[in-house]
Amino acid sequence: MVCANGFRRFLAVSTCILAVGSTTALAARTALSVTASNENGTGTFVVTLPEGDGGFVWRLTNPVPIVDSNTGAVIADLQGASVAVNYDTVAERGGMSPEVNLGFAVQAGISNTSFMITSALVPVGPFTSAEGRASAAYTVTDLTGNGVTLDGDGPTGGGYLAQYNGFVPVGSTFTEGINSLTAAGAFGSNSTSLNTPGAGFLPIPGTVSDMSSMIAFTLTAGDFASGTTNYQIVPEPATCGLLALAALAIVRRR
């Protein structure tokens, strides 16, 4: 296991780490987890999140190998990774909604390699009337001259999964997609994307209390894949207005 714990308060974004205060606090937990598995074993890269911050941005600054914790064998290369979340309500942050962003750049090991990348479980509201949107864009590149294939490993075969009310992959699914991506030509590349919905926001039934996302796929040996994802949940406009009125009433009482 490789661990990264580089969060500090009040640092500039250019340092690749940002933390901001909030009345909402997350318990110490894994903010980002990248697990790689193949015939050489299993290894995990972890970024930990301290308590008390309302949002953060983290980005891998140097490539790292993912190694089996027992044998030390290299499973895959993590060439890039990023996570950014906001977990304050709209009323608390004047318009910043709960959001989860993940990014990755990986090279498979000597055999077909499975990757699972997960965010933290991020608090939402709770919102009794909410809507959301999610997007993902993946690219694969053949580095071995025999073609490249990415196959999704999500609950229904998707390479990207966005859920609410439960930690992925056992929550309620907002969207799942990017089931397969191939590039047939030697040393070729190919890209695909997912947008749910195509424009605007999609209503979410019931009360929403948390959100999380997962990237999960198997990549052919020696090949490269990269991508970015975004997942956002907001209260519906009527709910947003009520939150604003409640916040104003609190200010007036003070």
pLDDT digits (tens, 9 = 90+) for 64-107: 999 999 999 999 999 999 999 887 644 444 456 899 999 999 99
For 197-209, what is each residue's pLDDT tens digit?
A: 999 999 999 999 9
Residues in Cβ contact with 130 at an 8 Å cutoff, skipping those fewer than 6 apart: 124, 203, 204, 208, 233, 234, 235, 236, 239
- Considering its fold, how many domains does the chain have in total? 1
Position with higher pLDDT, 236 vs 225: 225
Note the pLDDT of residue 52: 60
Per the CB < 8 A criterion, the answer to whether 166 and 235 are in contact is no
pLDDT at 12 over 60: no
Q: How confident is the model at residue 237 (pLDDT cuts 50, 70, 90)?
A: confident
Instruction: Give the angle 35-87-11 at the CA atoms, nearest 5°.
Output: 80
Note the pLDDT of residue 165: 97
Residue with tokens 């993590």: 78
Note the pLDDT of residue 30: 87
Note the pLDDT of residue 23: 31
The C-alpha atoms of residue 77 and residue 81 are separated, in whole angstroms, by: 11
Q: What is the pTM of this model?
A: 0.84
Range of the domain at 106: 2-253
Position with higher pLDDT, 14 vs 218: 218
